[in-house]
Amino acid sequence: MKWFVILIIVLKSATVFAQSNKLISINNFDYNYLNQLIHEKINSIRFNSNIGELDKNEVAKKASQNHANYLSKQRKLTHYQKNTKNKTVTDRIDNYTDKFICAAGENIAQSYIFKPSFYNNNKGHRVTSSDSTYEDLAETIVGIWVNSPSHYKNIIRPEYELSGISSIILPDQLKVIVVQVFIKLKRD
């Protein structure tokens, strides 16, 4: 019996390890897995800063997906859309709910897969990554945000309680774009 329990533990550990080193597939990109990893990493930062974790929210998810789709067509990063109905993150959120939003924020980032990406950390040092696993890609995206003062401010803003994350791949450029929307709802 003891050996059976040890075997189960070893097999579970191997499964978790294999999942954390899951290779990125361009043809079968696992958006949900990447978004979940990013969500967990963001909540870990908030937890370590004694800030409440963000709950997943369908409205924030739809607003983030709307903007990720827009960015993939524009092929450049911007927080604003040309369409006045979707111009700002608040406009995009309002399209999916009639609840009053007290505050909203948005983080966007892009990184390359299978080729070098660069960003500067908060100490001014250049960080290079060449992501081939979802774990590495999530770490790079969160690293970009943590090392950007305005993006990091969104991550640790205690008023934010809801979040939605969307990602999109541009296979011809080996580029992934990620959008995270943060929301604080007005209390009645």
What confidence tens digit (pLDDT) does each residue in 39-50 have? 999 999 999 999
Q: What single-letter amino acid sits at 179?
A: V
Phi, psi of 102 (to 5 degrees): -80, -40
pLDDT at residue 94 above 90? Answer: yes
pLDDT at 20: 62
Name the packing angle between helices 31-48 and 149-156 (round to 10°): 80
pLDDT at 19: 54
Count CB neighbours of 12 within 10 A: 10
DSSP codes of every residue in 103-138: EEEEEEEEEEBSS-EEEE-TTS-EEEE-B-BHHHHH
* pTM of the predicted structure, to 2 decimals: 0.85
pLDDT at 188: 58
More confident residue, 96 or 99: 96
Per-residue pLDDT, averaged over 1-9, amounts to: 47
Q: How high does pLDDT run on average in the chain?
A: 88
pLDDT at 10: 45
Give the angle subtended at the CA of 137 by the CAs of 52 and 40, to the nearest 5°.
20
What pLDDT band is residue 143 in, cutting at 50, 70 and 90?
Answer: very high
Per-residue pLDDT, averaged over 103-131, amounts to: 83
Q: Write the burial class of residue 67 (CB in 10 Å: 0-12 exposed, 13-18 middle, 19+ buried).
A: buried
pLDDT at residue 6 above 60? Answer: no
Say how far apart CA 57 and CA 3 lie, in whole Å: 43
What confidence tens digit (pLDDT) does each residue in 77-93 have? 999 999 999 999 999 99
Per-residue pLDDT, averaged over 7-13, amounts to: 45
Per-residue pLDDT, averaged over 12-21, amounts to: 50
Per-residue pLDDT, averaged over 161-185, amounts to: 96
